[in-house]
Structures are given as C-alpha cells and as structure tokens.
Structure 1
C-alpha cells in the first residue's frame, strides 16, 4: 500500500490532499502539533495514523519523532502546513520573522531530513506546497515571502542531492485559495473575504496528486496554479 505523511492536514489544502488520498485507500500518516489535535485528525480521517510534532519548534522534532512509531517507508511527504503574518519591514519584529521562518522553512527542512531514510527506501517524493509568494514579493509580505523563497531553494537543493537516491521533489505554487489562512490574510489586509473568488483547495490537491501519480520516468519540479476566470 502506498504510504504518505502529510502536514497541515487539519484544514485547507492539506485536508483536501488527505481526502483525495483516503478516497483511494492509501496509507495515511498525519502530523499533529499536539495530542489533542491528533485525536481530532484521527476522528476526522478514520484509519489514518498520527505523529505528534510541533512545526513551531523544529529543534524539538527529532526528539518527538524518536519516541513514536513511524512508517518503514514513505512514498510521499507532503508539506502543506504554514503560517502567515503580514507587516512592513519597518514594523516586523524578530519574533514574527522567526515564527514564520521556523514553521514555513526550518521545520520542513528538519522533517524532511528525519524522514529521508523512509523516502529513500520507497524511492518516494517530497512535495512542498509553496505559494505564489515563493516566486514574487509584494509589500507587507516580506517575512512570509522570504520563508517561501527559502522553501523553493530548499526544494531545489534537495532535488539535486537526492536524485541519485530516486527521491523526486516537487514545488507547487498555488495562488489565492479558499482556506482559513486566506481568511486571515484578508483580515490583515483589511479586505472583505469572498470565498467564492478563490480556488477550491480540492483543485490544488488535484495538482499535488498529479505530481505524485506521474510515472517514474518523469518528474514535475515546479508547478504554478492560479484562480481561474
């Protein structure tokens, strides 16, 4: 059975990816920030297994994972968790910078490092659900975009380093998507949130599965998806 570990499974794109993988009966491992969140995920996705680890503190992930059961092999690791906090460079504090860099960049790097043996064993794939902010930067988005630009660099380096081990690496760059994070962004921007204007998370999930299901003789490296007309 194909095995996947997904972060950010509680909502948005991550939840949509889990829904699609569950529909076809794949083995699911979901990262939860704490035991309470793990119970919520297990209730929402019957049959899925959970691993507890807080992406806000990547330096503790090694200890946390070493005390839990993990899969012997992983066909994919899908990074879809993330945090956002807008603000001008003049106003952003080190605490705000560090929180976004930790969850959006350092934690994915560390979680990938810890699970590389399982990914190599399966000749699996790492998917980074990045953002349009990983390709361009707008005012007020400096810290978030920096973390996402860094995530792109992480993916590019990992792809080159793990090619000979058979591990594929894909970056997906969604435009604005109807998620709780998007609602928060609109609130920070002082704009009215109109959910119907933006992409359905299920549409982005389909792009993720397209990359995962590609035959082994090919690899999608970078894929942008934007709201339609």
Structure 2
C-alpha cells in the first residue's frame, strides 16, 4: 500500500492556506486544485501515486494525500500525517446511471460508500484541524442533489441528496467555527460526464456543459467570502438547457 506523505515539494509559507482537495487528479477536483494552487498550498488527494504525483509536480506548492477513501484504515493513516489544514474540498465521487430495477445491493453500497460515507468519515477526521484554523469545508455536490430526479438517476441522486442532508447538519453543528458550503454544478465537461452521456445515448457536445474551471471559480468565491459571511449553497448550471 502506498504510504501517504505531506512533505512540501516547494516553498513553505505560513501565510498560505493549506487546502486538501479529494479527487484532485482529474475533472472538477483537478480544476479546483489548479485554481486554488495559484496562491495556496494544495494537498492533492487521490488513490494512485503516479496520478497524484503528476498533479503535485505541476503545482507551485503542493504535497500528496494518497488513499482510497473507501478504505477506512488508509484514510485514517493519511489524515494522521496532517498537522494543519485550512480548507477541505470534498470533490471525489462516483457516478451511477441505470434503472433501480437493475441495481444490486452491492452497487448501492459502492456509490453510497464513496459519495456519502467516505465524505462523512474524512470530514470527521479532519474537523479538529479545521476547527483550530476556523477553516472551511466545501462539498462538491451535484444538480442531482438539488433538482427532480430523472429516470435512471435514482441511485446517484439518492447519494447526492444524502450528501446535501449531511452538509446541512454539519453547517449548523459547526456554525461560527467552520464555514460549510455546498456547490451544486449542473453537467460538467469531464470524462465522467462523457461516460454518462454515452450510457444514456445522448450526443455529447462539450460546449453545452460547464467547464470544470467554472466550478473551481465558484469554490474560490466561497472561500474568499469575507469572514462574517458564508455562502451556504450555490447552484451553478450551464447556460444551455440540458
């Protein structure tokens, strides 16, 4: 098993916020890491060392956080190596799209484990650090956790509605100590979205989707809100109606 580490690859600046981004090796997570990496130290979260190291080496100030978040022991071990944290961005997630009649109990477990349980557990583990820094938690949710659920989207939407409920509760429990923001993007131009559209038989047109960088900009806006303010929920959707 890979041994996570938090050693910096370049400059160390006490005035720079330390941000852990999960799912940071691709898609929305990588866009967030690249955007915030312009002026923060990024802890790059991912399962595979090669992919994580590639992102770390491309950022001005970054370190790796290598763990399969579905693995409770690996996650706890990775967190034990953190000594300071200002921001947690929970971006890692898995997609699912099929009729409920065809979904096994194992598939429900797989999706809920990554999209809800792992998020709750990681957040719990780093909360002492975030409380100490009066930091932020940003949950990358989905339009599926905000809108009416279409046919075939029940499992994924169930996980995202559960994540929304978790986020609401966390916000009230930590109010005044840790800010908690929920970001709900519509369809985003990522590899995951390409796969989903292929499964549904819908022609894929990248320009009809949000750019990952637009979601990253929304995350930055939440983090840069003045100290007395908190962006609680933010829905960001493509201009194109989809």
Fold-level match, TM-score > 0.5? yes
Alignment gaps of 5+ in structure 1: none
Once the two structures are superposed, what CA deviation does each residue of 1:105-124 show, in whole Å capped at 9, x if it has no partner?
A: 11110110110011001100
Equivalent pairs, count = 224
The aligned residue for residue 37 of structure 2 is 22
The aligned residue for residue 211 of structure 1 is 222
* Separation of aligned partners in 2, 1:63 and 1:147: 26
- Taking structure 2 as the reference length, the TM-score comes to 0.88
Matched, 1:141 2:141: no
Alignment gaps of 5+ in structure 2: 1-15
* Separation of aligned partners in 1, 2:48 and 2:215: 26
Once the two structures are superposed, what CA deviation does each residue of 1:153-187 show, in whole Å capped at 9, x if it has no partner?
A: 110110111114x1000001000110111111111
* Separation of aligned partners in 2, 1:34 and 1:117: 26
* Separation of aligned partners in 2, 1:103 and 1:40: 23
Matched, 1:160 2:172: yes
**RMSD of aligned alpha carbons:** 1.5
Matched, 1:104 2:125: no
SS in 1 for 2:157: helix
* Separation of aligned partners in 1, 2:162 and 2:72: 16
SS in 2 for 1:90: helix
Once the two structures are superposed, what CA deviation does each residue of 1:80-120 show, in whole Å capped at 9, x if it has no partner?
A: 11111211110001121111101111111011011001100
Pairing partner for 2:46 from 32, 46, 54:
32
Q: Which moved more, 1:183-192 or 1:41-50?
A: 41-50
Cα distance change, pair 173–58 in 1 and its aligned pair in 2 (3 A)? farther
| TM alignment of 1:77-116, pairs within 5 A | 77-116=88-127
* Separation of aligned partners in 2, 1:39 and 1:27: 15
8 Å contact 2:25–2:52 — kept in the other structure?
A: no
* Separation of aligned partners in 2, 1:126 and 1:196: 30
Matched, 1:12 2:23: no
| TM alignment of 1:58-73, pairs within 5 A | 58=72, 60-66=74-80, 69-70=81-82, 72-73=83-84
8 Å contact 1:12–1:201 — kept in the other structure?
A: yes
| TM alignment of 1:182-193, pairs within 5 A | 182-193=193-204
Q: Which moved more, 1:38-47 or 1:5-14?
A: 38-47
SS in 2 for 1:173: strand
* Separation of aligned partners in 2, 1:228 and 1:167: 32
